[in-house]
Amino acid sequence: MASILSFKDVSKRYHRGREEVAVLDHFSLEIAEKEFVAIMGPSGSGKTTLLNLIGGLDRPSTGQLTVAGERLDKMSGAELAHWRARHVGFVFQLYNLMPTISAETNVELPLLLTPLSRQERMRRVAAALELVGLLDRKKHKPGELSGGQQQRVAIARAIIADPTILVCDEPTGDLDRHSAEEILALLRILNQDHDKTIVMVTHDPKAAEFASRQLHIDKGQLFDASAPAAA
C-alpha cells in the first residue's frame, strides 16, 4: 500500500528556559494508507508531539515530513490551516466540543470552511451523526451528553469533511471501559469499512489491540517500527 505519512530524519526541539530539549530526535517513520496505527509510550516520550506534527499543528525543527503527499515542513501557518481543513480529522481525549452549541452544529463546524450549501452541509451532518449512532441526539448540547456520546460527536466532527487521516489523542482516556470499547469499535469500523487511515496515541494496551499496528516511542525514539506492507 502507498505511504500516506512519511517522517524522514525529523527532529523537534523546544526551548525550556535556557535549555533546548529534543522531544523527537532524527525520527523516521512510514505509515501506509488505510492503516490503523496505535502509538504507545510513557509520559514525555514525544507521543503528543508526534501527533501534533502529523496533524499539522506544529512544524518539525529539522527533517522532512510528508503527509497526504504534501511537505508539511515547508508550509506556512495559513497553508497548514488550509491543509488541516482538507486532510485531517482530530479526536481529542477531552472531546473539545463547543459547549454552547448543539451536537449538530459542532459537527457542522468543519464544513463552514467549504463552499457547500446549508442543505448539503446538513445532509452530511445527518449522515455523520447516523454513522456514530447519535442522529436522535443532534439537538443536544455537549453538556447534555455522556462522555461516550460526546466522543462520538467529536468523531463525527472529525470525519465530516472526509479527511485523509484521523488523528486521535487518547480518545478513550476519559471514558469508562464500556464507552471506551464502543469508541474503539467505531474507529475500527471507520478504518475497515470506510478505509480511514487512523493514527491513535494511547496509554492503554487494550485500546492499542484494536489497531492493526502498534508502535512504541520513548525519549523521542521509535521502537518496534515496521515498514508498511508493499502495495
Partner 1 sequence: MLIFLQVAVAFALFGVLQGLKTGVDHAISETRADLLLVFSSLSMGDPLPLATLDQIKTVPGVRVAVPVDLLGGTYQKPTQEVLMVAISPDKDWTSAFTYDIRPGYLAAFQESRTAALASEEIASKYGWKVGDRIPLETTTVQIDGSMVWTFDIVGFFHDSDIGGGTEKILIQYPYLDAARLTRKGTVNHINVAVQDPGMAVAVADEIDRRFANSANETRTQSLRELAQLNMQSIGDLNFLVRTIVAAVLVALLFATATMMMQSLRERTPELAVLKTLGFTDRAVFLLILTEATMVCTTAAIFGLALAMIAFPFASKFVPGLSMPPIVVGVGIALAVVVGLVSAAVPATRAAQIEIAAALAGR
Interacting residues toward partner 1 by CB under 8 A: 48-49, 52, 55, 57-58, 77-78, 81-82, 84-86, 88, 90, 92, 96, 98, 109-110, 113, 157
65-70 long-range Cβ contacts below 8 angstroms, 24+ apart:
65/6, 65/7, 65/8, 65/10, 66/5, 66/6, 66/8, 67/4, 67/5, 67/6, 67/164, 67/165, 68/4, 68/5, 68/164, 68/165
State in angstroms the smallest separation of the CB of 155 from partner 1: 14
State in angstroms the smallest separation of the CB of 204 from partner 1: 20
Nearer to partner 1, 113 or 185 (CB): 113
Nearer to partner 1, 85 or 126 (CB): 85
State in angstroms the smallest separation of the CB of 109 from partner 1: 6
Longest dimension (CA), the chain: 54
Nearer to partner 1, 14 or 223 (CB): 14
What are 24's three cell numbers?
A: 523527537
Contact 160/107 with Cβ under 8 angstroms?
yes
Nearer to partner 1, 85 or 135 (CB): 85
Nearer to partner 1, 137 or 157 (CB): 157
Q: What is the rounded CA–CA span in Å between residue 55 and residue 114? A: 19
State in angstroms the smallest separation of the CB of 116 from partner 1: 14
Q: Which helix (H) or strand (E) holds 79?
A: helix 77-87
Nearer to partner 1, 154 or 190 (CB): 154
Task: Name, in order, each residue with C-beta under 8 angstroms of 63's C-beta and a sequence gap of 6 or more.
Answer: 7, 8, 9, 10, 11, 26, 27, 73
Q: What is the rounded CA–CA span in Å between residue 219 and residue 222? A: 8
